[in-house]
Amino acid sequence: MGYAVRMRWDALTDLYLDHLRVERALSRHTVAAYARDLDKWCRFAADRGREELSVADLDLVAAWQRQLHQAGLGARSSARHLSALRGLTRFAIREGALQHDFTALATRPKVPRPLPHPLTESETLELLDAPSADSPTGRRDRAMLALGYAAGLRVSELVSLRIGDLDLQRGVVSALGKGNKRRLVPIADLALERLTAYLEARLVRPADLDWVFASPRGGPLTRQAFWKIVRRHALSAGLSQRVHPHQLRHSFATHLLRGGADLRSVQTLLGHADVSTTEVYTQVTRDHVREAHRRSHPRG
């Protein structure tokens, strides 16, 4: 393209959207979302007589962010708008239409981390007891649900377990987590009992003996298969909320903290690299305490 000091933002946006459609093959819905966000930027710049790329600067970006905030956009939407502008700016630099990225120092709105939604202890027990112990599939599901909750495993860790990852004598499981890091997590008695019953009675092909939870088609169960298992048994247990597999992990962490476990221990058991990731569960615990106070205190 060459360095174009007189190029306008709306013309550059048209080129960028074509780039997203053709070169990056993004879906039409995604491209449409970029178009909406960038149209706001183009109109904002034009309204201030700064429709040309060469006169845009960090102050203009900050003013745009203030306008988005005043218009009622939340942090997540404002962050998305800034991300779209940064993509457009990087494209302009790549094409030689800009010499530097004036958005680099723009402050990204802080998006609050969504709080996890654990099950209550009674809901957890109802879910764990939902599968029947009278069939091979039921015994497998009982073992998976109990182990997922007892060890706080990620779904990917649970479905990829191999027999060598279990030490039923010591009552521990070796989970392969993010970054290929392993951690040892104790297994509670209930999970041990159900794992033992499942493993002693399971019927799998020799090629699948290495997988703890093998698929009928061969190889390990998929994440999607476990999702369906959780949903099916949550419905049969009569749980009202839309239960998903990761809630077993959320419940594991929350119940430990409510029971008095210290944050660092829970961090280690979950395999979190940063304790700040684990701290979100303390907020859930505080909310639980406040709610209990509100219900129980005569002047709450």
Domain tally, the chain: 2
Residues 201 and 291 both lie in one domain: yes
Co-location of 227 and 133 in the same domain: yes
Containing domain of residue 184, as a range?
121-296
User: Is 272 tagged catalytic?
Assistant: yes
**Angle at which helices 9-22 and 28-47 cross, to 10°:** 170
Q: Is 242 a catalytic residue?
A: no
Q: Are residues 176 and 288 in the same domain?
A: yes
Per-residue burial over 140-172, b if 16 or more Cβ lie within 10 Å, else e, is bbbbbbbbbbbbbbbbebbbbbeeebbeeeebb
Q: Do 287 and 205 fall within a single domain?
A: yes
From 48, 76, 178, 232, active-site residue: 178
User: For the segment 174-219, what is each residue's pLDDT rounded down to a tens digit?
Assistant: 999 888 899 999 998 999 999 999 999 887 777 778 899 988 888 8
Tokens at residue 125, please?
């027990």
**Claim: this prediction has a pTM higher than 0.85:** no
Q: Domain holding 292: CATH number?
A: 1.10.443.10
Q: What is the CATH number of the domain that holds 74?
A: 1.10.150.130
Mention every residue, 6+ apart, whose C-beta is less than 8 A from residue 202: 136, 139, 140, 214
In a domain, 1, yes or no: no
For residue 76, tell me if it sits in a domain.
yes
CB 300 within 8 A of CB 293: yes
Model pLDDT, residue 285: 59
Active-site position among 90, 246, 258, 288: 246
Tokens of 173: 């499981």
Confidence at 300, pLDDT banded by 50, 70, 90: very low
Note whether residue 263 is domain-resident: yes
Catalytic residue chosen out of the listed positions 154, 194, 233, 255: 154
- Residue 4, pLDDT > 60, answer no
Q: How far apart are CA 48 and CA 175, in angstroms?
A: 56
In a domain, 57, yes or no: yes
Say what the pLDDT of residue 286 is: 54
Query: Does residue 3 belong to any structural domain of this protein?
Result: no
Sign of the torsion formed by the C-alpha atoms of 269, 115, 129 and 176: negative
The angle subtended at Cα 243 by Cα 239 and Cα 246, nearest 5°, is 145
Q: Is 191 found in the same domain as 82? A: no
Q: Residue 149 catalytic?
A: no
pLDDT at 242 over 70: yes
Question: Do 73 and 214 belong together in one domain?
Answer: no
Q: Is 244 a known active-site residue?
A: no
86 in the same domain as 134: no
Q: What is the mean pLDDT of the chain?
A: 87
Residue 35 pLDDT > 90: yes
Domain contains 79: yes
Query: 90 catalytic, yes or no?
Result: no
Task: With respect to residue 41, please indicate whether it lies within any of the assigned structural domains.
Answer: yes
Same domain, 86 and 144: no
pLDDT of residue 5: 52
